Structure 1
Amino acid sequence: MNGKPKIVREALRACRRYFLFAAVFSLAINLLYLASPLYMLQIYDRVVTSGSETTLVMLTLVLLAAFLALAGLDLVRAAILTRASARLDRLLSARILAASVETPSQGASPSQPIRDFDTFRQVITGSGIHALFDLPWSPIYIGIIFLLHPWLGFFALGSSLLLIAMAVLNEYIVRAPLKQANDLATANYNFTEMSLRNAEVIRAMGMIDGLVRRWGRDRGLAIGQQGRASDRAAVMSGLIRFLRLTMQSLILGLGAYLVIERQITGGSMFAASLLLGRGLQPVEQIVGLWRSLILARAALGRVERLLDGGAQGER
């Protein structure tokens, strides 16, 4: 090893300030999401029982102000991540192009490293990274449910652990076919570009029929693996959505039992359902976007290998 710092890692570290700001805004956004369950809690436990229209108007105005602030912070977070993506592009795109020219990969398209980098960069500005930023704050919602009643808290905690286990299972069953599909598709694209560059030679030698047969066979294998991965991901995504909706409804049933036993109020019952739904939502979103996250991770790995190899060769 030459002791030279990893190029991609150094670029990501240079953008750390953007990600830290995004994390801070994510905390504020998730705290503001508490406005809806708190509003419902106050409506059921205070406004309905007291019949105070003034309290209802004031609570509604506060709720609207919280939602307006939430929307503004969400826009700011998206803008910060967009600037992080642009900063990464300024730091790495030229170096990736230079490395592609200096150390071309055998059989690979010359533009493949740039496409890989764009695949990763686009994830930074997509909805998937928002779910990743929101996920660490899910325990806030679980903790607040515990404050409403321990039984509701333990139910929410068990639901969260079950969905996390399903997400890990999704990674296990989708990763292999998705990687194979991506490798086969990349090889097929490279073969297509090579064939088009040598189109005159292929026509002169009468190899068009054989080329089309091989291209179709390779493309069919890639599409087959993509379909296999997509089918598995769709099953897991549907199962996780079913579990989230079921748990969000079952906690209402548990809350109704506690209301009957006069251990909580009706407002607490509905607030617990809203809190649980928000706490589980990032897990469901991440599973739904798992394919793009895996592809982005693999693309970043290829970019790292290209740049680190180039750096080592310059030593």
Structure 2
Amino acid sequence: MNAFAQLRGLIAPLLVFSLITNLSVLISPLFMMQVLDRVLPSGNIATLVLLAALAIAALALQAVTEAARDISLGRLSRWSERYGADIALRPNEGDAQGLIDKVSNFAGFIGGSAALVALNIPWIPLICAALLFIHPSFLMLLMLLVVTSKGIEMIAASFASSEQDAASKVRTLEKQTLARADQVQRQLGMQNTLQNLRQRFFSLLEARHTHLEACQRTIGFGTGAVALVRSSGQILALALGAYLVTLNKLSPGGMIAASIILAKGFATIEALLNHIPILRQNYRDYKSLCAQSTETIATSIDMPDLDGHLRIEGIIIPRGGGAPPRLDRVTLQLAKGECLAIVGPSGSGKTSLMNAMSGEAPPPIGSVFFDDNELKGLPPAALNQSVGYLPQQAALISGTIAQNICGFATEQGDAKILTAAKLAGVHGLIAALPKSYETDLSHDMYLLSSGQRQRIALARALYDDPQYLFLDEPNALLDAEGEKALAQTLLRLKEQGTTIVMILHRSGIMGLADKVLRLERGRVADFGPRREVLARLGLGGRRIELPILESSSDDLKDWVASQFTRSSDEAFSQKAQAVAAELFSIACQNQSKNTPRIASFVFTFVDDTHCEISMVEDLPNDLAKKMASARENLRKSEVFLTDLPRDEAALARISKLCDRYQVRNSEDATHFTVSLAGDTDISDKGREWIN
């Protein structure tokens, strides 16, 4: 049950406090009545002493009661803020800031004067009954004073509202005029216009002040009139009481008592009328807080350290509206320290699966098990300690780099920060900054590139030494150096037994995966060891199909680079990437504007120092004339590559880099095969001669 709803049980004791404080208003009237009616006529000093002692004891009780009430309301206010903040800041809460504002307003209401006004409401009839008991005329006078006061306020507000609206409209015109002046100020030859706009602004300013003066005058007269009614109330009560005394319908003590009670009643009713909007708003906030979910996760049981095994069973994430689900019955299992690569076309459900597995968005149907612990049963603290998550475009927030890495932990561990940074391969990068780990990203975010921010975010994901690491396209924003550092980090994590799940579009770190999961339209199209899945995808990773788009060139080069695993083959790899890029450039020149096309590449090692790259594009390409033109240019003494058409320049570069090449056209495709040797230097020479 929501604890806010249980606050209703505290209304009764608080009303008891309020009853005692409201009854205390009768102490002075009753004392005066008894003194005037009993002590003075009889001259009995003992009665006076007894009455004074009783009055002082009652006032002491009032003081103790008010102190206890204020302390109780203060504690209740602080409890409401703590409990409400706990609800608002739970994971997956929608408008957390809006909920925090409601909690803050409600806590301020409980600890402020508005709560005292609310507690006085049930006792207004008591005050009215006391006046009625003394004489009905005093109750009629109270009602007359309240109606007169409220009427004056409403009339004053009615007259002032038109002036306030006019002042608001003029203020809008002022802002527009200043905006126009700011535009004109940046342009030449418009000084006259600028001067006119300034004069217009001061004219509007004067007009707004005139409206505000009229508004203030009306409100001032209204406030003064209400103060006059309030001050006159007790005098009128005394006058009315004196008149009733002359008619022998009231005693002098009753006259004094009625004037005091009437003043208290008028103040109470006036405060209530002024606080009605506040009371309504806080009542709405209270009902909203009572309606908040109070699902809690037991934290009293110490959870064992998670070992690294991961299992998901029958995950289904509905899309709604009768559409196919985002994920449909996905099941898999990973052992401790295994690395899973999730691949598939855009929209196939990769990110949805990642979020479901990591606990960022637990699946509504199906189960995720960390070791033997179901995800929904894990305390948030245990999950946060054991799971690291890196989104595709991670955000760093205002604060120092050290604070970002430790996640703004209250007890910042410098050793853990350094360990995480070194493990992520960013310690050198951070140390090279002017302020190192104390670099304030609220001012110096420009010092970091997108890839560098991503690597720092990886250090943040590694800060708590998680047993599970989830990475959404971790190499998407990284350059070659960053990707190598990422690969080294993942290798070290695998050696430590960390279970890794990553979504990949670029294949640069595919070789680190132990298993591959391929998704298509939310379903598992293939799952198993990397070599087997890649073999089923095409020639054990030696074959790839790419859309003929300029943006696919980087993917092609990454794929070619992944074929080389020896550090000594770096030059050979660069040469093969360059040739593949030129082949792809030829295909792009032959692109159809209306029909999307696919190019298929096959990579084959002939031996340790020779390889072949074959490209098949699904459209005939008239390369015969282009080859002839390229050969003709080769015979010339001096020809610059930049002078040739792009496709002929590509053919010329290929002819210089390869041992041999072959082009064959069929009815509906072009076959291009290039043989390469790994002993040719392909350093960029800028403008190359073709001889």
TM-score (norm: length of structure 2): 0.31
Q: In structure 1, what is the equivalent of residue 269 of structure 2?
A: 283
| 1:41 shift after superposition | 0.8
Match of 2:32 among 40, 44, 49: 40
Q: In structure 2, what is the equivalent of residue 188 of structure 1?
A: none
Q: In structure 2, what is the equivalent of residue 154 of structure 1?
A: 140
Q: In structure 2, what is the equivalent of residue 268 of structure 1?
A: 254
Segment of structure 1 superposing worse, 33-42 or 81-90: 81-90
Write the distance in 2 (CA, Å) between the matches of 1:166 and 1:257: 28
Is the counterpart of residue 256 in structure 1 residue 242 in structure 2?
Answer: yes
Write the distance in 2 (CA, Å) between the matches of 1:21 and 1:168: 36
CA contact (8 A) 2:134 2:258 kept: yes
Write the distance in 1 (CA, Å) between the matches of 2:100 and 2:221: 33
The residue identity in structure 1 corresponding to 2:40 is V
The residue identity in structure 2 corresponding to 1:282 is T
Is the counterpart of residue 103 in structure 1 residue 124 in structure 2?
Answer: no
Q: In structure 2, what is the equivalent of residue 185 of structure 1?
A: none
Q: Secondary structure at the match of 2:90?
A: helix
Is the counterpart of residue 300 in structure 1 residue 285 in structure 2?
Answer: yes
The residue identity in structure 1 corresponding to 2:253 is G
CA contact (8 A) 1:167 1:283 kept: no
| 1:53 shift after superposition | 1.9
Write the distance in 2 (CA, Å) between the matches of 1:297 and 1:157: 27
Q: Secondary structure at the match of 1:264?
A: coil
Q: Secondary structure at the match of 1:98?
A: coil
Write the distance in 2 (CA, Å) between the matches of 1:170 and 1:128: 24
| Residues 178-220 of structure 1 deviation map (CA, whole Å, 9 limit, x = unaligned) | xxx9xxxxxxxxxxxxxxxxxxxxxxxxxxxxxxxxxxxxxxx
Write the distance in 2 (CA, Å) between the matches of 1:167 and 1:18: 35
| 1:154 shift after superposition | 2.7
Distance 1:129 1:163, change over 3 A: farther
Give the structure with the higher percent helix. Answer: 1
Distance 1:298 1:57, change over 3 A: closer
Write the distance in 2 (CA, Å) between the matches of 1:147 and 1:79: 34
Write the distance in 2 (CA, Å) between the matches of 1:116 and 1:267: 48
Match of 1:243 among 226, 229, 236: 229
Q: In structure 1, what is the equivalent of residue 129 of structure 2?
A: 143
Q: Secondary structure at the match of 1:262?
A: coil
CA contact (8 A) 1:82 1:125 kept: yes
CA contact (8 A) 1:252 1:270 kept: yes
The residue correspondences of 1:197-212 to structure 2 (distance < 5 A) are none
Is the counterpart of residue 62 in structure 1 residue 54 in structure 2?
Answer: yes
Q: In structure 1, what is the equivalent of residue 10 of structure 2?
A: 18
Segment of structure 1 superposing worse, 263-272 or 159-168: 159-168
User: What RMSD over aligned residues (CA atoms) do the two structures have, in Å?
Assistant: 4.3
Write the distance in 2 (CA, Å) between the matches of 1:11 and 1:306: 10
Structure showing greater Rg: 2
| Residues 17-62 of structure 1 deviation map (CA, whole Å, 9 limit, x = unaligned) | 2222111211122122211110011111111222222221211111
| 1:287 shift after superposition | 5.1
Q: In structure 2, what is the equivalent of residue 84 of structure 1?
A: 76
Q: In structure 2, what is the equivalent of residue 215 of structure 1?
A: none
CA contact (8 A) 1:138 1:280 kept: no
Write the distance in 2 (CA, Å) between the matches of 1:169 and 1:301: 33
Match of 2:116 among 124, 130, 134: 130
Distance 1:302 1:70, change over 3 A: closer
Distance 1:282 1:258, change over 3 A: same
CA contact (8 A) 2:142 2:262 kept: yes
The residue identity in structure 2 corresponding to 1:86 is R
Distance 1:65 1:234, change over 3 A: farther
Percent of aligned pairs with the same residue?
25
Provide the aligned length of Structure 1 versus Structure 2.
248
Is the counterpart of residue 117 in structure 1 residue 103 in structure 2?
Answer: yes
| 1:111 shift after superposition | 4.3
The residue identity in structure 2 corresponding to 1:103 is G
Segment of structure 1 superposing worse, 163-172 or 73-82: 163-172
| 1:125 shift after superposition | 1.0
Write the distance in 1 (CA, Å) between the matches of 2:152 and 2:226: 7
| 1:82 shift after superposition | 2.4
Write the distance in 1 (CA, Å) between the matches of 2:67 and 2:275: 20
The residue identity in structure 1 corresponding to 2:9 is R
CA contact (8 A) 1:132 1:286 kept: yes
| 1:235 shift after superposition | 7.0
Write the distance in 1 (CA, Å) between the matches of 2:155 and 2:106: 23
CA contact (8 A) 1:18 1:80 kept: no
CA contact (8 A) 2:134 2:254 kept: yes
CA contact (8 A) 2:106 2:286 kept: no
CA contact (8 A) 1:141 1:279 kept: yes
| 1:273 shift after superposition | 0.3
CA contact (8 A) 1:120 1:296 kept: no
Distance 1:77 1:239, change over 3 A: farther
Write the distance in 2 (CA, Å) between the matches of 1:31 and 1:302: 31
The residue identity in structure 1 corresponding to 2:282 is R
Distance 1:141 1:306, change over 3 A: closer
Write the distance in 2 (CA, Å) between the matches of 1:95 and 1:37: 49
* Unmatched 5+ stretches in structure 2: 169-208, 296-360, 365-691
TM-score (norm: length of structure 1): 0.63
Write the distance in 2 (CA, Å) between the matches of 1:234 and 1:118: 32
Q: Secondary structure at the match of 1:15?
A: helix
- Ranked by relative contact order (alpha carbons within 8 Å, sequence separation 6 or more), the top structure is 1
Q: In structure 1, what is the equivalent of residue 450 of structure 2?
A: none
Match of 2:64 among 72, 88, 94: 72
CA contact (8 A) 1:259 1:269 kept: yes
Segment of structure 1 superposing worse, 162-171 or 246-255: 162-171
